[in-house]
Amino acid sequence: MCKVVLATQPFLFFNRVFPFSTMNKTSLWLRHRGLILQIVLLSAIWLILSGKTDPIYIFWGVISIAFVIWLSGKLHSIPLSKDEPCGSTRIIIPRLITYLFWLVWQIIKSGVYVAYLVLHPKMPIEPMIVRFTSKQPNVLARVILGNSITLTPGTLTLDIDDNLFTVHALTQEVEEELVSGDMEARVARLYMRECEREDMCCDIELITSGRGR
Amino acid sequence: MSFLQDALAILLVLGGTFFMLVGSIGINRLPDFFTRAHASGKVDTLGILMFLSGLAVFEGFTLTSAKLLLIIVFVAFTSPVAAHALARRALLYGMKPWYGNRKNEG
Same domain (yes/no): A196, A169 = yes
Q: What is the pLDDT of residue A11?
A: 44
In a domain, A83, yes or no: no
In a domain, A61, yes or no: yes
Same domain (yes/no): A115, A179 = yes
Same domain (yes/no): A114, A181 = yes
CB-CB under 8 Å, B38 with A123: no
Cα dist from A7 to A3, A4, A15, A16, A44, whole Å: 6, 5, 14, 15, 44
- Residue A169: beta bridge partners? A128, A155
Q: What is the pLDDT of residue A82?
A: 60
Same domain (yes/no): A113, A37 = no
Residue range(s) defining the domain that contains residue A171: 93-212
Same domain (yes/no): A49, A138 = no
DSSP B99: -
- Report the domain count for chain A: 2
Same domain (yes/no): A98, A71 = no
Domain boundary among A28, A46, A76: A76
Lowest mean pLDDT among A62-71, A74-83, A173-182, A184-193: A74-83
In a domain, A85, yes or no: no
CB-CB under 8 Å, A128 with B99: yes
Q: What is the mean pLDDT of residues A162-170?
A: 84
Mean pLDDT of chain B: 86
The whole-angstrom separation of Cα A160 and Cα A167 is 9
Nearest beta carbon to residue A118 from set B30, B34, B102 = B30
In a domain, A82, yes or no: no
Domain boundaries, chain B: 2-93
In a domain, A159, yes or no: yes
- pLDDT-above-90 percentage for chain A: 8
CB-CB under 8 Å, B67 with A111: no
CB-CB under 8 Å, B77 with A158: no
Same domain (yes/no): A65, A106 = no
Q: What is the mean pLDDT of residues A204-211?
A: 70
Q: Which residues of chain A have a CB within 8 Å of the CB of B45?
A: 107, 111, 151
- ipTM, two decimals, is 0.84
Interface test with A, best of B24, B51, B99, B102 (most A CBs within 10 A): B99
Same domain (yes/no): A134, A56 = no
Residue A15 has pLDDT above 60, yes or no: no
Q: Say which CATH number the domain at A117 has.
A: 3.30.70
Same domain (yes/no): A97, A191 = yes
- pLDDT-above-90 percentage for chain B: 29
Same domain (yes/no): A35, A123 = no
